[in-house]
Amino acid sequence: MSALLEITGVSKQYPGVLANDNISLSVSAGEVVALLGENGAGKSTLLKAVFGLVKPDSGEIKIGGEPIIFGDTAGIISRGVGMVHQHFQLVPVMTVAENIILGDEPKSGLFINMKAARAEIIALSTRYGLEVDPDAVIEDLPVGMQQRVEILKALRKDVKLLILDEPTAVLTPQEIDELLSVVRNLAKSGVGIVLITHKLHEVMAVADRVVVLRGGKLIGTTSPKETDEAGLAQMMVGRSVVLQVNRTEAKRGGVVLEVKGMQVRDDRKILSVKGVDLALHKGEILGIAGVEGNGQREFVEAICGMRHREAGEVIINGVATKNMDPHGAHEAGISHIPEDREKHGLVSSYSIADNLILNQFDQEPFAKGWIRNLAEISKNAIAMVAKFDIRTPSPSNTASSLSGGNKQKVVVARELSEDLPVLIAAQPTRGVDVGSIEFIHNQLLSARDRGAAVLLVSAELDEILSLSDRIAVMSGGKIVAIVDSKGADRNYIGRLMAGLDK
Amino acid sequence: MITLVKRRGSYYFLAVTLATLYLYSQSANITTSVFSIAVTFAMPLALAAMVGIMCERTGIVNIGIEGTLLLSSFVAFYVAIAAKSILIGFVAAMATGVAMSLLLALMSVTWKMDQIIAGTILNILATGLTSFFYIQGNMLPSMFKQKPIPGLSNLPFFGDVLFKHGLLMYLGFVVIITLYYGLFHTPWGLRTRSVGEHPSSADTAGVSVSRMRYVNVAVAGAIGGLCGSYLVLELVGSWNRGFTAGKGFTALALMIFGRWNPMGALAAAMFFGLAQAGANQLMINGTVNIPPQFVGILPYVMTIIVLAISAGKVRPPAAEGQPYEKGQS
């Protein structure tokens, strides 16, 4: 049996980065190949090239023995290639059905046959056990559901090769298990699968073969039988990585941040935080576990002054605060690593140096009165880039030139540079590679050890379990339980997250 | 939110219907004639709004509609005179509209220029060309004449209002209805809207973003040509400097008011047409005695009011104004 996908000697040069350097790879039917690599290792570029979205400078890509043509995405799809993109390729204002049929619509005469489309989608979703409502509008759906739509979209044409680009980044543990079993079943039915992920245990669980990229080069091929998670991490990063966080006992102090009876509305004006009480102590990490969309985002935004609170109090160091703007929250002593770094964490078109001082640009030594002190800004940037291991040719490059993990390091570096009493970290390691995760985790712990009160919000239960001193579980806009992380039961917390136990 | 707006729309509709019934019972003739005139005022605005909808639904902001109307009406007029055929004038105007659109597409899709600047260039180009080549004192060989549609034109009220017009008016209605069904019920429409909302989704589904944009903007230009032709060859019959008098900009307001929906924009244009026809009638009757200049201001004042009312409540296509870079998601 010949290979479904054959990549031979593909190279792609971007300004300043060699994203792919002479990569060769093949995938056969029924095989799950995991593609591992740090952020910026060139995985996404390679797969976009397979999909005809990126034109390689050299090399050849064959699907089913036939070379592909750049730009002919429709042709590539018709040859049985499906891709689940890391950033969902769904039109938010359209329905599930419209999104799935886009590009190859069932017709009756000139018009779209919506009835046929619905029937097809329902058949498709029963076949793969991925239930969706064809008439739901994408933007109203939780991310897990959107992901499902994205997968169904890819599976619609009898796929022979399915590419999954970080499909589990935004899913709950249960959803991940479901997805992995779908992947296994597909492979059993003869579909070749390429899986990109940062999560090593997923790789260990489903992959037949693991291909590791680093700095655009193919470093090696292995299989879960031959290695373990630590071995994979080492191949990826090029050094040994401590996967288990080394957490010492917290030296808990007095209450720094207290929230009482907080109620917040979401973007659609629906009450999504329904009365939350929480006390955050000096020198502890309080983790908020929960399935996304249960009010965590609105809760954090309300504390950080990005969202108006309907009711309730936020008390910082004993002082009750009014509804604030983000600047006021910062003045009050809150530093914030926002969930969406692209939107709220960085000004992509600004330099890395400027992004590193966004929170203090008007303060000494970065400004004197109305004048910015460029020498200090650049000195600070050089120091930060070194200290936080931000990989860039120069701090004067724009933030948009960085890979996801390095962008996140910029945000973390900036927010930790001031040493404020409260640190709120929302999804601090989302879409970040193992090397950077280890680094960011250690930074959060050392902030705690310096005496900061740290509120960690994460959809990754493992992250919460390994970092937090106490764990609050949020479900349906309320804190349903607060448990000590020592001896916390993963399954119990999972059930609370799903809203099963009360 | 959407249902709320829809409900508000049906309230307007109900209010207008009731007012019409009342007026009709008072004076059938005058009401019918006011509505009939209102339709002739509304059609050019509606068609110009269709140009905007076609472009923006596919992600291209077109503020050059005014220029497209101006130049195509100019071409319609002089080509009709030179060729002694209004039909040739009409075809030439359509071609002009398409050419203007292709220029816009070239600047905004291929060169990825700022689309506001690209649109402004169209407007300046049209103003410059038409002012330079304008010669006074020409007459059209003929005009598109009223062609009542047999049967339908005998209906009470609606017969006079809708079915006693010229060819281009009927064509206009066909275009608007086709566009409505096209946008919301055909594969073409689905792809167009996806390109305007989230182009990378379309791209990854195998829909060529730049091709969609080129084709749609070009068709929009043809509609602009129809609009210019209607103005000069069916409605007015002469051409002078600044002939289109800001209709292309008013159309943008109507497009927004109609929430980028052809039917919505048509209703908004009808509302405008009625206001103007009504005000004219009041002046003719002598019911009110205001200087005609104030009546002339009316459309512009209404534009401002309409935009102020709908500002912030509407949601434009998400990707409008943004050039698409392949492979960036």
* Average pLDDT value for residue range A471-500: 85
pLDDT for the residue B4: 46
Asked whether residue B8 is assigned to any structural domain, the reply reads no
Phi-psi group of B29: left, alpha or beta (phi > 0 → left; psi -120 to 50 → alpha; rest → beta): alpha
pLDDT bin (cut points 50, 70, 90) of residue A333 is: very high
Is residue B5's pLDDT more than 70? no
Rounded distance between C-alpha atoms, residue A285 and residue B310, angstroms? 47
Model confidence at B328: pLDDT above 60: no
3-state secondary structure of B42: helix
Name the CA dihedral angle for A429, A430, A433, A437, rounded to a multiple of 10 degrees.
10
B315 at A interface, C-beta within 8 A: yes
Provide the pLDDT confidence category of residue B219 given band limits of 50, 70 and 90.
Answer: very high
Contacts of A71 (CB under 8 A, 6+ apart): A52, A55, B208, B326
Does residue A502 surpass a pLDDT of 60?
no
Contact assignment for A112 to B185 by CB distance below 8 Å:
yes
Residues A27 and A43: their CA atoms lie apart, in Å, by 15
B32 inside domain: no
Average pLDDT over residues B287-294: 77
Can you give the residue range of the structural domain that contains B293? 39-310
Domain count, chain B: 1
Cα end-to-end distance, chain A, whole Å: 54
Alpha-carbon dihedral of residues A111, A114, A120, A123, nearest 10 degrees?
-170
Instruction: Using pLDDT thresholds of 50, 70 and 90, give the confidence band for residue B6.
Output: low
Instruction: Quickly count: other Cβ atoms within 10 Å of residue A383's Cβ.
Output: 14
Report yes or no: A456 and A428 within 8 Å, Cβ to Cβ.
Answer: yes
Asked if residue B3 has pLDDT above 50, the reply is no
**How many CA atoms lie within 13 Å of A392's alpha carbon, on the beta-carbon side?**
28
CB atoms B197 and A94 under 8 Å: yes
Q: pLDDT digits over A368-394, tens only?
A: 888 999 999 999 999 999 998 888 888
Helix (H) or strand (E) holding A107: strand A107-108
Q: Name the strand (E) or helix (H) holding A20.
A: strand A17-27
Please report which helix (H) or strand (E) contains residue A276, including its range.
strand A271-281
Interval B174-202 mean pLDDT: 95
Residue B329 has what pLDDT? 47
Say if residue A502 is exposed, middle or buried (CB neighbours under 10 Å; 0-12, 13-18, 19+). exposed
Instruction: Specify the higher pLDDT residue, A445 or A489.
Output: A445
pLDDT in tens, A198-229: 778 888 889 999 999 888 888 889 988 888 88
User: B199: which 2 tokens?
Assistant: 């182009």
Query: Do the Cβ atoms of B315 and A93 come within 8 Å?
Result: yes
Of the ranges A186-190, B5-9, B62-66, B123-127, which one carries the lowest mean pLDDT score? B5-9
Partners of residue A90 in chain B, C-beta under 8 Å? 198, 201
Distance of CA A33 to the CA centre of its chain: 21
Residue A92 structure tokens: 């938010």
Nearest CA in chain A to B209: A71
Alpha-carbon distance of A91 to A240, in angstroms, equals 41
For chain A, where do the domains classified as CATH 3.40.50.300 start and end? Answer: 5-237, 255-497
Question: What's the one-letter identity of residue A171?
Answer: L
Which runs of E-coded beta strand occur in A144-222? 161-165, 192-196, 209-214, 217-222
Please judge whether A112 and B186 are an interchain contact, meaning their C-beta atoms are less than 8 angstroms apart: yes
Is pLDDT at B1 greater than 60 in this prediction? no
Rounded Cα gap, residues A195 and A207, in angstroms: 8
pLDDT digits (tens, 9 = 90+) for A439-475: 899 999 999 999 999 999 988 888 898 899 999 999 8
| Interface predicted TM-score (ipTM) | 0.87
Rounded to the nearest integer, the mean pLDDT of chain A is 87
Average pLDDT over residues B186-210: 94
Yes or no, beta carbons of A91 and B200 under 8 Å apart: no
Per-residue pLDDT tens for B50-106?
A: 999 999 999 999 999 999 999 999 999 999 999 999 999 999 999 999 999 999 999
Q: Which residue, B280, B254, B204, B305, is CA-closest to B51?
A: B254
Asked whether residue B323 is assigned to any structural domain, the reply reads no
Task: Determine the residue among A12, A51, A83, A89 to mutate to test chain B binding: the one whose Cβ has the most chain B Cβ atoms within 10 Å.
Answer: A89
Question: What order do you get walking across the sheet with A32-37 strand by strand?
Answer: A81-84, A161-165, A192-196, A32-37, A209-214, A217-222
Integer Cα distance of B293 and B291 in angstroms: 5
Q: Indicate the pLDDT class of residue A501, thresholds 50, 70 and 90.
A: low
| Mean pLDDT (whole number) for A310-335 | 89
- Cα–Cα distances in Å, from B119 out to B52, B65, B68, B129, B300? 11, 8, 10, 15, 20
- Is the pLDDT at B266 greater than 90? The verdict is yes
**Mapping DSSP to helix (H, G, I), strand (E, B) and coil, where does residue A11 land?**
strand
pLDDT at position B14, please? 82
Residue B322 belongs to some domain of the structure: no
In angstroms, what CA-CA distances link A15 with A53, A57, A318? 17, 13, 51
Q: What is the CATH number of the domain that holds B146?
A: 1.10.3470
Kindly list the residues from chain A whose CB atom is less than 8 angstroms away from the CB atom of residue B203. 53, 73
CA distance A179 to A259: 37
Q: Please give the structure tokens belonging to residue A271.
A: 């009450």
- Cβ contacts of A141 within 8 Å, gap of 6 or more: A96, A149
Residue A321, SS3 per DSSP: strand
Task: Tell me the per-residue pLDDT of A148-199, one tens digit each, with 9 for 90 and over.
Answer: 899 899 888 788 999 998 887 667 777 788 888 888 988 998 899 999 887 7
Residue A266 has pLDDT above 90, yes or no: no
Instruction: Give just the sign of the alpha carbon dihedral A219, A221, A227, A230.
Output: positive
Q: Following CA atoms A441, A444, A446, A451 in sequence, which dihedral angle do they give, to the nearest 10 degrees? A: -160
Test A94 with B194 for CB contact under 8 angstroms: yes
Non-local CB neighbours of A301 within 8 Å, separated by 6+ positions: A264, A307
H helix count then E strand count, chain A = 16, 24
Which conformational region is residue A415 in: left (phi greater than 0), alpha (psi within -120 to 50 degrees), or beta? alpha
Say whether domain A5-237 belongs to CATH 3.40.50.300: yes
User: Taking Cα atoms as reference points, which of B151, B150, B152, B145 lies closest to residue B167?
Assistant: B145
Contact B190 A112 (CB under 8 A): yes
Whether B28 maps to a domain, the answer reads no
Are B107 and B213 in contact, with CB atoms under 8 Å apart?
no
- Minimum Cα–Cα distance from A153: chain B residue: B205
- Asked if A23 contacts A48 with a C-beta cutoff of 8 angstroms, the reply is no
Residue B15 has φ and ψ, to the nearest 5°, of -60, -45
- In chain B, residues with a C-beta closer than 8 Å to the C-beta of A48 are 327
Spatial separation of the C-alpha atoms in residues A144 and A142, rounded to whole Å:
6
What pLDDT, on the 0 to 100 scale, is given for residue B209?
A: 94
Indicate the CATH number of A255-497 among 3.40.50.620, 3.40.605.10, 3.20.20.150, 3.40.50.300.
3.40.50.300
Residue of B nearest to A48 (CA): B327
Inspect the interface and report whether the beta carbons of A104 and B206 lie closer than 8 Å.
Answer: yes
| Residue among A282, A227, A228, A299 at smallest CA distance from A475 | A299
Of B181, B201, B208, the CB nearest to A91: B201
Which of B326 and B256 is assigned the larger pLDDT?
B256
